Structures are given as C-alpha cells and as structure tokens.
Structure 1
C-alpha cells in the first residue's frame, strides 16, 4: 500500500504543471496568452490590491517557493524583496528579471503643462502601452522557451497570435483617439505615462509627489481644466478620489475610476480610451 502511495505521488509530480509566478494581474494575462494551459500561473498581488503597500505574507512566500520561475516587471517592491527572497527560497526557484525595464529605459514623457506641477519621474507602468507589451510578450516567450523547450512550437505560435492582437488593439486605440484635438487629460495618480507617450497625449497628474494637492494647486488645476474643456477626470481605485471630485464638480466634469492593474487588460485600455474620446472631440 505504501509503495502504491509513493508511486501515486511520483505520478502526480510528473503530471503537475510547473508554477510560474508574476507580480501583477496584467503580467498573468500576458503570460496566459503565450503559455495557455501549460503552466500554473501564480499572481503575487491579487486584483484590487496596491503594490505600493504590498507586503509578503507566509502564504505568498509559500506559493512563490513552489514556483519554477518568478517574472518581475520593475516594480519598487520587487527591488526591495528580491534580495530577501534569494536568501530564503530554495535554489530550485529561478528569479528572473527577463521582463524588467531598467530605470534608464523609462520614458520621461513631455509635459506641456500650464501649471507648475511636477510629475513622478519614475513610472513603472510599462504594460499600459501596447507597443511596450509587444516587447514584454517577446521576452516572456523567450524565457518560457528557454525553461520549457518541449512547448517551443506552441509558445512561438501563441506569441505570433498575441502580437497580432496587440497590433489590432494599438490600431483601434489610435483610431478612437484620432479625432481628439486637445491631447491633455487629468488623472489623479500618474500611472498613464507610457499610454500617453504611445498616443501623443499629455497626462496631467493631480497628485504631487504622492500627496494631495494644496488649495492653490487645486485651483490651478481647475483653471486648467476649464480652459482646456476637460470633462473627464480619471481617478484610480485604491487612491483618494476627493481632489478629483472637487475638480470635476468645479468644471462640470465626470470622474472615471481606472484600474491599471486589471487582469482584463485590453478591456481597461479601451475603457480609458473611450473615456478620453467621449468629451474631447
């Protein structure tokens, strides 16, 4: 009986899918497009959580320790935790930064502001640009092929299909935004730098160095919104909405809540695109 149990466990281990961990839901979406059902995908930060306040729990560490790979994407918490993980996780865990963009590669997009608002110099949200996601997808495919060569043909085929899908999405967004003459938009937390850069838009953040704007700064934003005819103020789930609501009320605009970390990544990009196009013609 004991021999049967051991044999059963052995067979289960052979049949079990390798686990690959990622930091955020959009990564899980990209990974799924290429890997399909060949892997079990573990997402460290669940939908609706905030990477800025993320802390590893024992359960998170347990799931990560069973992973064959951990794919990072350049978030601040990764830089803090990866050195610790390397010391505490088994050597069998491969932590790779194969889809990590160094700080020197982060675009510092142009800001043609009519106010003296400083934006965050560091924006890790590279996945909000379909053009950059094409790079991420190619890197993911390369990593998977290197570590799971038995699925090379499948991964290459899925990558090609996903790249076509990304081109189609990029074209769709471009077409929706093409009639817009004024390319400025107001957003509470400056998460959309790469999206703005990709589509010749100017992101104007409400938040200043991670803090709520003061009365004078808020007044400047309201004046700008009225001058530019901005009718949509973008807020982000997990962040304060009070300033966005004050600006919206003062200039007759609406507040739309965005989720840059949504697993339904394509749907989220189209959502903010439609929000921009609604009032900006």
Structure 2
C-alpha cells in the first residue's frame, strides 16, 4: 500500500513538473514572439517611404499610404488607412503644411503607443508669399517641399532614423549604418547639383507650381511658378500675361510641368511665348514612366538635373 502511495506521489510530482514546464515554455515562446515582432511603419508619400525604407532595410515592414501615380495634395485617408496607422509602431509624414489631413487624423487615433514623425519639423520653412508673387492657393503660405533639396532631405533622414532607433534600439547600429549610407548618396547628389549648376548661364526657370523653392535657393537659382503651392490652382489671365512677358524678357525657352497633373496651364504659357514644355518631377509620387525605368528618389533627382540643364544652359 505504501509503495502504491509513493508511486502515486511521484506520478503527481511529474504531472505538476510537466504543467510548470509547459507554462514556462509557453511564456518563453510568447516573450520570444514579442521580442521578434517586426516594426510596422506607415509613411505618407513616396519620399517619406523611400527615406524610411532605405534606413530600415529588411528589418521592418514599411507601408506607403498614398500610391505612386496619385497626386497627394488633395488626398484624404480612408477608414482602412486610419486603422493601418493606428496599428503601426511609427507614422512618418513630411509636414502639416503638405499632408494637411494629419492634424485632424492625429486627434482621432490613439497615439499613446505610436511614434509620430513630422520629418520637416526641424527645418525653417520658406514663406512662399515672400519668395515670389505667385497666386498662392488658400491656406498657409509655408512651403513644405523640403525633400527636393538633397541637403534638407538629409535632415529628414536624421529625424526618421532617430524615431526608428527609439522604437527598435537593438538594431541601432544597422539603422545608423543605413542612414549614413543614404546621407552619403544625398551628399553626392548635392555635390553633383552644385558642380553642374554653378556655371549655368540662365538662373531662372518657370514651373507649373511652386515646388522647387528649396532646390532653387540651394543652388543659386530662381523659381518662377505659374501657380502657387498646389498644382491644381489655375492663375488668372492677367497673371498668365505677366508671366508671358517675363518669360520672353528673360529668354526662357522651357516651361516645366509635372507628370502627375495636367500640363494644360504650362502648355498655354508655352504656346504664348514660343517655349517648349518638359517634365520636372516634384517627387510627390513616382510616375508610371519612372517605375518603368526603375527610377528611385536619386534617379529622379538626377533626371531632374538633366531637365534643368535644358533651360539653364544655352
């Protein structure tokens, strides 16, 4: 009888040990799964996606909210987009003056566990109303197009990288190495622009909308925009006539428009002045042509430089 009790006691201990072991393994697996969770980052439009993706490499999942080929100025998020942002670890956008819907959106989602990165926040923005006399669209005159300056783009990369490291410190070295590599490419791009444009015979260029103010300022050029900060604002006939006279006076031979919007206004001015039209890409999204050519941010910026040469050298 005593042997039976001892056997039963040992058997009971084995069961308890098995249960404890199972619970421990379950907790270990849960902890392991939690620690192995990949960062989920949501970015607004192409430059923010490109900068972020270059920094994280394959260590995080990066979503692009505004699809390439979509004009982002008037884009608004859907309920599904808001849910995706809510479920992410980091949300990256350029500026409250560009993605104007972010202010309202950030009051409607729970940001207690969400790192929000306004990549242009440390940059002093141009007041477009002071820079030129173009007819600005209603709203703020702050120019948010900082990503078109290879110098200011590096500042955005730094802001994005800091947030990523805070969210995933264990991969800090990798993120810093990737960010350094990207900033080196942007620095090379800056040097290419400087070297190419320093001998430009013409310093002014005409664009469909005021997207290239930072790029122009960086390299000693002057942007003459047909419309204001938004490409869908059409100028008055009086403004077009004024621009036509300015274009003829300064012997400007190219009128630039962008691939994601209609070229109608640019073409009207070109017809009036005998100029030609060309695409100058503000990188608000890759066009179908860009994607077919396999171009990224650096590739498009180099292509833009070649297009600028058409009107700045003669």
* Equivalent residue number for residue 138 of structure 1: 158
Shift of 1:12: 6.7
1:262 aligns with 2:285: yes
CA gap of 1:129–1:217, structure 2 versus 1, over 3 A, is: same
TM-score (norm 1): 0.85
* Structure 2: distance between partners of 1:93 and 1:25: 21
1:105 aligns with 2:128: no
1:229 aligns with 2:221: no
* Structure 1: distance between partners of 2:312 and 2:99: 37
* Structure 1: distance between partners of 2:41 and 2:310: 39
TM-score (norm 2): 0.77
- In the TM superposition, what are the counterparts of 1:30-69 in structure 2 within 5 Å? 30-69=51-90
**The residue matched to 1:46 in structure 2 has which SS?**
coil
- In the TM superposition, what are the counterparts of 1:103-252 in structure 2 within 5 Å? 105-108=124-127, 117-118=134-135, 121-208=141-228, 211-252=233-274
Contact 1:109-1:197 within 8 A present in 2 as well: no
Shift of 1:34: 1.3
* Equivalent residue number for residue 273 of structure 1: 305
Contact 1:259-1:268 within 8 A present in 2 as well: no
- In the TM superposition, what are the counterparts of 1:83-102 in structure 2 within 5 Å? 83-89=104-110, 91-97=112-118, 99-101=119-121
**The residue matched to 1:51 in structure 2 has which SS?**
coil
Contact 1:111-1:202 within 8 A present in 2 as well: no
Contact 1:34-1:141 within 8 A present in 2 as well: yes
CA gap of 1:253–1:23, structure 2 versus 1, over 3 A, is: same
CA gap of 1:65–1:179, structure 2 versus 1, over 3 A, is: same
**The residue matched to 1:95 in structure 2 has which SS?**
strand
Shift of 1:251: 2.8
* Equivalent residue number for residue 47 of structure 2: 26
**The residue matched to 1:71 in structure 2 has which SS?**
strand
* Structure 2: distance between partners of 1:207 and 1:218: 9
Larger radius of gyration: 2
Extract unaligned runs of 5+ from structure 2. Answer: 1-27, 287-295
Report Cα offsets for 1:140-198 as digits up to 9, x if no partner: 22111111111111111112212211111011112222221221110011111111111
The two structures, once aligned, show a CA RMSD in angstroms of 3.1
Contact 2:90-2:114 within 8 A present in 1 as well: yes
Shift of 1:48: 2.0
CA gap of 1:111–1:179, structure 2 versus 1, over 3 A, is: farther
Shift of 1:79: 4.9
